[in-house]
């Protein structure tokens, strides 16, 4: 019987422990889920994931969680205060007999709510031992669990500290300036920047106006350059789908016409032009006359910027993407992977780049396809086995750059798209962190759970041809809870 105080401690220490170890290995970041993990995770102030209905972002809490004993072998501490290397972690104990886990999972996996095809994989991240599998190599439509692959690929490509720049440069014509998009999905035009935003058009306009006035220029024409991305800007789901704006290199506030920060909403169909128009208005407020309307143009090569604003670090963008299932961030990060890999920043180029980066991590991608970064495309294909190996790779001390894949996962019963799942008195609340996946007749859940003995397990459950989405989600939650709560004996 798990008592209330044990559940709360488990929520903080087990479900959130990975971020504390990740700070040591990867360094602090100024926003994203790492900050959120010091915040109250049951807020009811904001809407959550774009393709998973209502969920809530956390609000401030008084203190950070402690680290659960038993995480050490998975994520060892970094150098001490003196700079000397920490003592090597003890080798992980061998994984226990998986019979108990199989006995718990098999009847749950047979739930008719999971539709005509369901697959499963559970892996001990420290030893790599497969504790349970069912058709784990069969590639299926993964829905938003695709974002786990997108996250790992971009972190491998550019690292968690990389920031994306939006700049203003002098244009080719007299008295012309060019606003140049770099693909920052956190760029905001709002005067009161929302939490988690990065680049600020307001600050960029202030810096640009200052530079222009220093050069005795108070009247300009404005062009905007969004040519960093290529190919179609509209996702195959269609322009009218509120889950994703047209994918351009210059978009403020995800093309949202209101004050929302997440969730479906009708988007601008010309986000680049709207962003440039907002920038022109900000310049005028600062005493710079902008003649005519902004026009699409091309910035000259090799010109030093007049002003620059930068995104929140990629690691924090990954965390926000995973916590809220943010499709706009996902597509932007897939294109950043393409740019870093020398591929065109398009759906096609991103597909190749993500596959190449994941293969470079030593992962078997047989049967996989990464048709987009968000998982909205039904052409995406991933297996449960690949998802658990990706999560285990993110827990590998040899890959600290991948740690935001784990720290960004929503916490069951507490944050993001899992706030209302395995919540309340569920014994899995706070012990499960996972990325949800939901399309019509497709449901998935992939993440990590801390076992009763303190071991970090990665799991993935994929289901297709599901009928009732709520019933399928409940069945997946039961599977995840079983992973977190089934006791196992450890040998050796």
- Positions marked catalytic: 144, 147, 325
Closest CA to 283 of 210, 337, 345: 210
Record the tokens describing residue 147, joined without a space: 């974002």
Residue 300: C-alpha distances to residues 112, 178, 248, 304 (Å): 60, 9, 19, 10
344 with 247: CB under 8 angstroms?
Answer: no
* Consecutive H or E run containing 475: helix 469-485
Q: ∠ CA 321-327-331 to the nearest 5 degrees?
A: 95
Closest CA to 447 of 388, 380, 400, 398: 388
Q: CA 57, CA 94: separation in Å to the nearest integer?
A: 37
Cβ neighbours of residue 398 under 8 Å, at least 6 residues apart? none
Closest CA to 105 of 77, 68, 130: 130
* Consecutive H or E run containing 123: strand 117-124
Q: CA 93, CA 186: separation in Å to the nearest integer?
A: 42
Q: What is the 3-state secondary structure (H, E, C) of 46-83?
A: CCCCCCCCCCECCEECCCCCCCCCCCCCCCCCCCCCCC
Record the tokens describing residue 129, joined without a space: 């031992």
Closest CA to 288 of 376, 204, 230: 204
DSSP string, 382-432: B-HHHHHHHHHHHH-TT-GGGTHHHHTSPBTTTSBTTTTSS-TT-TTTTTE
**Residue listed under structure tokens 């939490």:** 195
Give the chain's count of helices (H) and strands (E).
13, 13
148 with 263: CB under 8 angstroms?
Answer: no
DSSP string, 134-186: ESTT--B--GGGHHHHHHHHHHHHH-TT---EEEEEE-SSTTEEEEE----TT
52 with 73: CB under 8 angstroms?
Answer: no
The two beta strands, 295-296 and 219-225, are parallel
Chain center to CA of 449: 18
């Amino acid at each position: 019987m798990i008592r209330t105080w044990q559940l709360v401690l488990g929520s903080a220490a087990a479900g959130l422990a990975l971020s504390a170890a990740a700070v040591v290995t990867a360094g602090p970041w100024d926003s994203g889920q790492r900050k959120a993990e010091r915040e109250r995770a049951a807020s009811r102030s904001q809407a959550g994931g774009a393709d998973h209905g209502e969920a809530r972002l956390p609000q401030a809490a008084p203190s950070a969680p402690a680290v659960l004993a038993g995480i050490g072998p998975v994520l060892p501490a970094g150098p001490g205060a003196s700079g000397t290397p920490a003592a090597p972690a003890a080798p992980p104990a061998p994984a226990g007999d998986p019979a108990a886990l199989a006995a718990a999972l098999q009847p749950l996996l047979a739930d008719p709510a999971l539709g005509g095809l369901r697959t499963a994989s559970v892996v001990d991240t420290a030893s790599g031992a497969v504790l349970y599998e069912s058709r784990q190599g069969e590639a299926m439509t993964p829905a938003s669990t695709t974002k786990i692959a997108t996250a790992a690929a971009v972190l491998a490509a550019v690292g968690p500290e990389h920031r994306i720049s939006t700049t203003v440069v002098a244009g080719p014509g007299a008295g012309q300036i060019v606003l140049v998009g770099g693909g920052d999905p956190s760029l905001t035009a709002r005067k009161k920047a929302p939490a988690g935003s990065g680049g600020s058009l307001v600050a960029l306009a202030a810096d640009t106006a200052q530079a222009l006035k220093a050069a005795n220029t108070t009247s300009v024409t404005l062009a905007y350059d969004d040519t960093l991305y290529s190919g179609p800007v509209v996702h195959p789901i269609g322009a009218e789908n509120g889950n994703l704006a047209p994918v351009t290199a210059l978009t403020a506030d995800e093309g949202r016409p209101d004050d929302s920060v997440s969730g479906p909403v009708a988007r601008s169909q010309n986000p680049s032009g709207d962003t440039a128009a907002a920038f022109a208005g900000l310049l005028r407020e600062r005493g710079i006359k902008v003649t005519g309307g902004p026009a699409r143009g091309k910035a000259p090569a090799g010109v030093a910027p007049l002003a620059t604003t930068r995104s929140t670090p990629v690691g924090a963008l990954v965390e926000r993407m995973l916590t809220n299932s943010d499709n706009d961030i996902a597509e932007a990060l897939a294109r950043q992977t393409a740019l870093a890999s020398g591929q065109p920043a398009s759906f096609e180029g991103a597909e190749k780049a993500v596959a190449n980066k994941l293969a470079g991590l030593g992962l078997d991608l047989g049967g996989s396809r990464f048709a987009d970064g968000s998982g909205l495309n039904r052409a995406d294909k991933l297996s449960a086995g690949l998802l658990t190996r990706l999560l285990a790779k993110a827990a590998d001390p040899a890959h600290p750059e991948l740690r935001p894949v784990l720290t960004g996962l929503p916490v069951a019963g507490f944050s993001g798209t899992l706030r209302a799942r395995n919540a309340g008195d569920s014994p899995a609340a706070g012990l499960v962190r996972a990325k949800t996946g939901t399309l019509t007749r497709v449901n998935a859940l992939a993440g990590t759970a801390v076992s009763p003995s303190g071991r970090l397990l990665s799991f993935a459950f994929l289901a297709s041809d599901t009928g009732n989405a709520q019933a399928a989600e409940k069945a997946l939650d039961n599977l995840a809870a079983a992973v977190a709560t089934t006791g196992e004996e450890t040998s050796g």
